[in-house]
Amino acid sequence: MMTLTGITGPWFATRGRHGAAAALAALSGALLLSSCANLDVPDTNSPTQGVLTETPTRQTLARTAVGIQTQVSIDIPAQIQQWGIYGRELYNLLGNDPRETGEEISGPQDPGGRAGAEWANKYAAIRSINTYLTALPKGGLSDAEVSASQGFANTLKAWHLHMLAVRSGPTGMPIDVDRPIDAEPAPLVSSQEAMEAASALMDEALTQLNAGGGEFPFNFVEGFEGFDTPATFAQFNRALAAKMLVHRATFYGCTECWTQAATAIAASFITEAGLPGSLKTGVYYGFTSTANETANPVTETLESNRYWIHPSIISGAQLRPGGQPDLRLTTKVALAPAPRTLNGLTGTYKPVMYNDPSDPTVPDLDANIPWLTNEELLLLRAEIRWNTGDKAGAIADINLVRVNAGGLAPTLLTAASTDDAFITELLYNRTYSLMWTQGTRWVDARRYNRLNTLPLDRQGDVVHPNMLIPSAECDARGLDVPCSISGG
Amino acid sequence: MRRNRLILAIAVALAFPQLARAQTREITGTVTVAGGTVPIAGSTISAEGTTAETRSSNEGRFRITVPAGPVTLIARAIGYKRGIQVVSGTQTTADFALERDVLQIEGVVVTGTATTIDRRSATTAVAQVSGDAITDVPAPTIQNALVGRVSGVNLQSNSGAPGGGIQMQVRGNNTILGSFDPLYVVDGVLYSNSRIASGRGSISDAAFATAEDDAVDRVADINPENIESIEIMKGAAASSLYGSRAANGVVIIKTKRGQLGAPRVNVRQVFGQFDISKTLDSRRFTLQEATDKYGPDVAHWFDNNANPYFNHFDQLYDNHTLSYETAMDVSGGAGNTRYFVGGTWKHDGGIEPNTGFGRQNLRVNVDQSVNSKMDVQVSTEFNRAQHDRGWNNNCNNFACQGYAFAYTPGFVNLKARDQNGNFLQPDWGIQSNPLQTAELARNHEETNRFTGGVTLNYDALNTGRNSLKFVGAAGIDAFGQNNNLWSPNELFFEAVQTQPGAAVEGNASSRVWNWNLNAIHNFIPSGGGWSANTSVGTQYVEEYLDYSRITTTDLIPGQQNVGQGTSTIGTDTLKKSRTLAFYGQEEVRLLSDKLLLQAGVRAERTSNNGDIDKYYLFPKVSGSYRLLNLIGTGSEIKPRIAYGETGNLPIFGQKFTLLNTPQLSNLTGFTVAGASGNAAVEPERVKELEVGVDGLAMDGRLTWELTGFTRNTTNLLLQRVPAPSTGYATQVFNGGKIENQGFEAVLGVTPIQRGNNLVWISRATFTQYTSKVKDLAGLPPFRPPLSGFGGLGVTFIEVGEPLTQIIGRDFCNPNVPASCASDGVRTATDVKVGNSAPNYRMGFVNELTFKAMHLNVVLDYQNGGDIINLTQFLYDDAANSADYGSKDWEYRMKGYNGGVITPYIEDATFLKLREVSLGVTVPHRFLGPANTVIKSARVSLTGRNLVSWQKYSGLDPEVANLGSAAIRNNLDVAAYPPSRSFFLDFSLGF
């Protein structure tokens, strides 16, 4: 730009050949100047990845830690709905998407459809975590802070990998995904191998948290209250580790996992003190109604046509001593003003567990969704104890939940009961304690090969045994759709 | 290294011409119009075989210094055929009488930033339009004025809304994700054609956020009144020196400049108005049918009339605001200074109440000679535009007129008001009255723009054999656009919203700054016979565009400020790029000027590229040969061939991977965004081969230009879906190939020429091209951005098919039972059902001059192309079609019910009477005593878009709901209706 003014001086002042020479000099000067023109134009509309990968600071790392926290909850509404439909916890009878009463209940599954988002979202979260982990040592944090941050990030990464393995089952999945976008896609491994890798990473994260000093160098969003120091977050790490080990024991017959799970859960935040209030102690997925933030996506009015309790949940509830149904049902459902039937499916009750507790007709956009609470830990410990020989302890744990959460009488199980009877009792309690939080009915039925116990409403309905690898993942690998570890 | 070598090359080029001056002499003379004594000012007089050149004065006089001995002088002037005279060594005067160049044989063609070549030798097809042709019939924008007049260019308006919104496509589509606009250059200044959406879609709840806002393309700011000429560089060989902005052609606009002499004043006053050209009817309801469908509440519409029926288009689009244009310019020059000052005040009234278009321009062009070797040209324009484009196109809450009409039964009198003067509360199913919307809602746009440039010419050397010239130019084009929309709470469609009342405040700021420096060396050896022209240069371009928008809803009733709503969102986007280029060109004329060879290359680096230090090369090579007197004396036939490459820049931001900034608990986090940038992204590359044969015969009364081209665009900007396990959803990359092949023709004839008393000139243009996707670099077929509406016919990119193919669901073929599902619908969903590109287009321009009378007619014909009539779809959806219950209706409903789009896909063939003007030049003697003051006077009656003969059942087949899509889809979703305009035009010259 400045070059023009550089020319005008000699150009005006001279004539003839001198002018030509001066102009030549000026032109050459202009070329020299312009050839070093700075063409580096940044994108200022949004932070670029470079602020994290190239010049990380304490602040950018802290923000990324927050971003990673927000990414754990992206899929949970889809998981509640989709796994809930698979596991017959609920129907979606809104009628705007034929898949809700078709594909998801009667199949066949479309690898190009619903399989995509929750797979992609989890790997996107893993990409953020990997980018964060790479940047951590460069951000000027103390060794303890780096270690604490690594422990935090690896805990969430291990959980994402584990949940991907849960959804995928026999198709397998990639785990070695920290590679450039242009590289060969990470190889598919079996979900069993993926879960083993996730468990190992969870243990590594514990070591890192233990070396992490007294505080994290970042803030926590809603939902982590009480678990926001390296020491308390380690308890959450152990709780997740225990759950993952129980999954491995039941999905893949990992017998040593039971004892490892026993060790892990003992180091978690499980407690028998303060019941029933302490049932709710734990970590939550945070939602708020604040502008630009994400509100609870599943809460709705009783008039909404969207979510309906599966009738088997209503009819299957046990009765309290007074003859009323299980408290875990009565506090979580409400009779709709009118029933709704769509495509042969009828809903009568609406879920209200995320509505205002004082007035279940009012949606509560600020309601958090449980991630892992003491209530589930007690049930996990029951499961672990039964399988590690402490059957009396297992029955005691079951009863802590039955009585405190359900208002029910203690179970009739004894240490002499069959494994089958125990599993039935366990799954009953898991279904009613955890319904509407994670699609537990579907996962539990898969863990114990009880998919055939889930109720089918219509001729031709099926229960899907797993979710498919999305077609985009197969396409990028040149595999036929649907693909799996055993080929395309 | 590369830079140093380039500088060295320039130094050599500059050092070369240092040769001794030969002995010289002077020749003087005059240039006049043939058959009279009217002088021609500003004509160029040059001596053949030398570099000597001069210009004639306002009185037509010239003085030229030439080498001793006999020379051939050539006089050229825009609008006239050249004159040639051999002047003996002793002769010191030469006078020229030039004939009018009715078929545009003459003129110069731009070949580079600072180089031109005479049209007769041009190695590529040329599309030039003179300023006179552009202003013959008042046009809202220059693009409207070009329709029908140029070949190789497809100009289609996106809607009938006042004041612009036209897609200009040169030789077809070249890109899927890149820019699809030609590059506009006004007096050497790069001119932004950004389309900045108004934000209307956020109020009308349109499906594609801002893409359905019917945005004005900002070349609408250019004032047709001040244009001297428009030249369109179509092929890559013509435009390659503009590099990676030239893939879609370059439009070079020159404005008028002053001539030496006494001040000349031209005044033009135009009055006229716009009328709707076509309306749609709707279903006729009986009372029974009405109450069955809309309930008993609508019975009152039948109270005083058993068969009420109102055409709502007639009710709404009956605005006849006076349209006018006042233009005045003063030009002249004395001594070393020439000037042109022009001002225009224009207003077009829209047919929808409270819509319209206004533009005010002030142009000042000054040419100053500093000394005999140096002159400075300054070109400036200030421009202000107002657009009120109303409420049309797609919407989802009946905030738009045509859309609401589809759902408004004909028995409703929309004009009806209650005793308080308010429109009646709608009782016909939808909550909207378009008359109320037009009366109360505001969609206003205001733009202020400055465009200015300076060019310095310096003749460093002129020896008769050698000339060396330096040209430096710099310019800026800057505008600010403000959009102000208000949808008051009391509007029927607002009142039913959960947050009634909406306001939008949008602001955009654009700046394009460029400079270039050029050295041009001309060499003619002493023996003559050949000549060489060498030019080198450098160019720097900086573009800046920032647009922000504040949208609010839940307004306090009566308030219109975006600060008075409770639910407010703001967005802001900044795009910026810098480009640096070097270029060089060699032009050699051989065999006594008959053979012309050209070669050039541009080396360019740009901030939008992944590698900002890498120079991309855009070469060109071309040649032409003139065969003289082959078919009669004076005839010329010129075969030509040209090959060139241009580019299309990556879009700003494609190289960056961004971080998302999710918020929770009042904390803002960073996460890696799903769209991965590509740090290696490159420009798309257009490679084009063009061959042609031009000619003139019969004393210049017959001319033709035939051109065939084949153009391959490679290295396309495409978007792939990487393995989702990478954590990314999309990534832009370069690959694939699109082919465009086409044929263009221009034929000019002068069937009648009896002196200047009776002349009939006829020109026809023909444009045909087809595109084909050759390769998608392994991508599966896909829908490009803004492809259309789901199952309602969408553009679909597929190898082996045209870029413009439309896919959708079709009826099955009864002869192929396997293709049929039980409901008679084809099982496959994605089948080709149409092609939005026309088969070909033709334009016919006829000018008839009889003594003082002048008649000009422009016809524009499009053959083929498919249009998707979603307006009809809406009427059918509302059971409100005019042909409800007919056979045609039954056929469409079969498609409607089966999700089959074919009944709504129609042939877009049309023939439009674009321009008619009938004028009289008032003979000087009729001016009476005023004739000492008034030099010329003219009165004409003109019309634009007077008649359209079309196959299309809708309003206008020339419409695009998603006009900002790179691949134009003729999608009619209740667009602003087309209109015709009539003007009475008075011109006076002083």
Q: Is the pLDDT of residue B59 over 80?
A: no
Higher per-residue confidence, B702 vs B81:
B702
Query: Would you call A45 and B573 a contact, using CB atoms and an 8 Å cutoff?
Result: yes
Q: Is the pLDDT of residue A8 over 90?
A: no
How many other β-carbons are positioned within 10 Å of the β-carbon of residue B201?
24
Q: What would the pLDDT profile of B250-301 be if each residue is shown by its tens digit?
A: 999 999 998 878 898 999 999 999 999 999 999 999 999 999 999 999 999 9
A25 confidence band (pLDDT: 50, 70, 90) = low
Q: Is the pLDDT of residue B955 over 70?
A: yes
Q: What would the pLDDT profile of A305-325 be if each residue is shown by its tens digit?
A: 999 999 999 999 999 999 999
Least confident segment among A396-400, A462-466, B47-51, B543-547: B47-51
Tokens of B950: 């079309």
Residue B222, amino acid: I
Cα–Cα distances (Å) from B837 to A30, B709, B795, in that order, read 46, 17, 11
pLDDT score at B654: 92
Instruction: Starting at the earlier edge strand, list the strands of the sheet with B96-98.
Output: B61-67, B24-33, B96-98
pTM of the predicted model as reported, rounded to 2 decimal places? 0.87
pLDDT score at B722: 92
Q: Is B582 within 8 Å of chain A by CB?
A: yes
Q: Is the pLDDT of residue A396 over 90?
A: yes
In terms of CA atoms, which chain A residue is nearest residue B546? A45
> Average pLDDT for residues B866-888, to the nearest whole number?
95
In terms of CA atoms, which chain B residue is nearest residue A184? B723
Tokens of B609: 């590229």
Cis peptide leading into residue B263 (ω within 30°): no
Q: Is A70 within 8 Å of chain B by CB?
A: yes
In terms of CA atoms, which chain A residue is nearest residue B573? A45
pLDDT score at B422: 94
Nearest to B265 by CA among B330, B334, B333: B330
A252 CA: distance to closest CA in chain B (Å): 24
Average pLDDT, chain A: 91
Task: Kindly provide the residue ranges of all beta strands, DSSP E only, lying in A183-261, ordered along the sequence.
Answer: 188-189
Q: What are phi and psi of B596, to 5 degrees?
A: -120, 125
User: Which string of DSSP letters, residue by residue, matches A322-373?
Assistant: TS-B-HHHHTTEEEEEEEEEETTEEEEEEE-TTB-TT-TTSB-TT--EEEEE
How remote is the C-alpha of B630 from its chain's centroid?
Answer: 38
Q: Is the pLDDT of residue B547 over 70?
A: yes
pLDDT score at B53: 81
Q: Is B1 within 8 Å of chain A by CB?
A: no
- A215 and A148 Cβ atoms separated by less than 8 Å: yes
Query: Would you call B721 and A472 a contact, using CB atoms and an 8 Å cutoff?
Result: yes
Chain B neighbors of A40, CB-CB under 8 A? 607, 612
Residue B468, amino acid: L
Tokens of B925: 């003697």
Q: What would the pLDDT profile of B355-401 be if each residue is shown by its tens digit?
A: 999 999 999 999 999 988 899 999 999 999 999 999 988 888 899 99
Chain A neighbors of B607, CB-CB under 8 A? 39-41
Chain B neighbors of A368, CB-CB under 8 A? none
Cα–Cα distances (Å) from A83 to A76, A169, A299, A464, B327, in that order, read 10, 14, 17, 10, 71
Which residue of B10, B374, B665 to mutate against A (max A Cβ within 10 Å)? Answer: B665
pLDDT score at A32: 59
Q: Nearest by CB to A290, which of B519, B652, B666?
A: B666
The H-or-E segment that residue A90 falls in is strand A90-92
Distance between CA atoms of residues B869 and B50, nearest Å? 62
CB interface of B with A, residues 709-728, below 8 Å: 721-728
Chain A neighbors of B515, CB-CB under 8 A? 1, 3-4
Query: Would you call B725 and A174 a contact, using CB atoms and an 8 Å cutoff?
Result: yes
A96 confidence band (pLDDT: 50, 70, 90) = confident
CB interface of B with A, residues 172-191, below 8 Å: none
Least confident segment among B39-48, B374-383, B809-818: B809-818
Q: What would the pLDDT profile of A144-199 be if each residue is shown by its tens digit?
A: 999 999 999 999 999 999 999 999 999 999 999 999 998 999 999 999 999 999 99
Q: Is B35 within 8 Å of chain A by CB?
A: no
Distance between CA atoms of residues A344 and A337, nearest Å? 19
The DSSP call for residue B218 is: G
Nearest to A287 by CA among A223, A211, A205: A223
Q: Helix or strand or coil: residue A125?
A: helix
In terms of CA atoms, which chain B residue is nearest residue A15? B460
Which residue of A46, A118, A167 to mutate against B (max B Cβ within 10 Å)? Answer: A46
pLDDT score at A24: 59
Q: Nearest by CB to B672, which of A3, A127, A290?
A: A127
pLDDT score at B766: 96
Q: Is the pLDDT of residue B217 over 50?
A: yes
CB interface of B with A, residues 459-498, below 8 Å: 460-461, 468, 470, 472, 474
B9 confidence band (pLDDT: 50, 70, 90) = very low
Would you call A353 exposed, middle or buried from its count of C-beta atoms within 10 A (0-12, 13-18, 19+)? buried
Query: Would you call A124 and B727 a contact, using CB atoms and an 8 Å cutoff?
Result: yes
Q: Is B731 within 8 Å of chain A by CB?
A: yes
B657 CA: distance to closest CA in chain A (Å): 6
In terms of CA atoms, which chain A residue is nearest residue B727? A124
Which residue of A14, A41, A51 to mutate against B (max B Cβ within 10 Å)? Answer: A41
Which residue of B244, B534, B545, B664 to mutate against A (max A Cβ within 10 Å)? Answer: B664
Distance between CA atoms of residues B51 and B469, nearest Å? 11
> Average pLDDT for residues B115-119, to the nearest whole number?
79
Q: What would the pLDDT profile of B617-631 be if each residue is shown by its tens digit?
A: 999 999 999 998 888
Q: Is the pLDDT of residue A367 over 80?
A: yes
Calculate what percentage of chain B has a pLDDT beyond 70: 96
ipTM higher than 0.95? no
- B840 and B863 Cβ atoms separated by less than 8 Å: yes
Distance between CA atoms of residues A291 and A297, nearest Å? 14
Q: Is B659 within 8 Å of chain A by CB?
A: yes
Q: Is the pLDDT of residue B739 over 70?
A: yes
A428 CA: distance to closest CA in chain B (Å): 35
How many CB pairs below 8 Å do chains A and B form together? 231
Q: What would the pLDDT profile of A327-348 be if each residue is shown by its tens digit?
A: 999 999 999 999 999 999 999 9
User: Which string of DSSP letters, residue by residue, matches B539-558?
Assistant: EEEEEEEEEEEEEEEEEPTT
B12 confidence band (pLDDT: 50, 70, 90) = very low
pLDDT score at B70: 87
Q: Helix or strand or coil: residue B712?
A: strand
CB interface of B with A, residues 338-377, below 8 Å: 370, 373-374
In terms of CA atoms, which chain A residue is nearest residue B460? A20
CB interface of B with A, residues 246-285, below 8 Å: none
- A442 and A449 Cβ atoms separated by less than 8 Å: no
Chain A neighbors of B566, CB-CB under 8 A? none
pLDDT score at B592: 80
Chain B neighbors of A71, CB-CB under 8 A? 662, 671
Residue A237, amino acid: N
Query: Would you call A32 and B7 a contact, using CB atoms and an 8 Å cutoff?
Result: yes
B498 confidence band (pLDDT: 50, 70, 90) = confident
Q: Is A181 within 8 Å of chain B by CB?
A: yes
CB interface of A with B, residues 194-233, below 8 Å: 219, 221-222
Distance between CA atoms of residues A53 and A60, nearest Å? 10
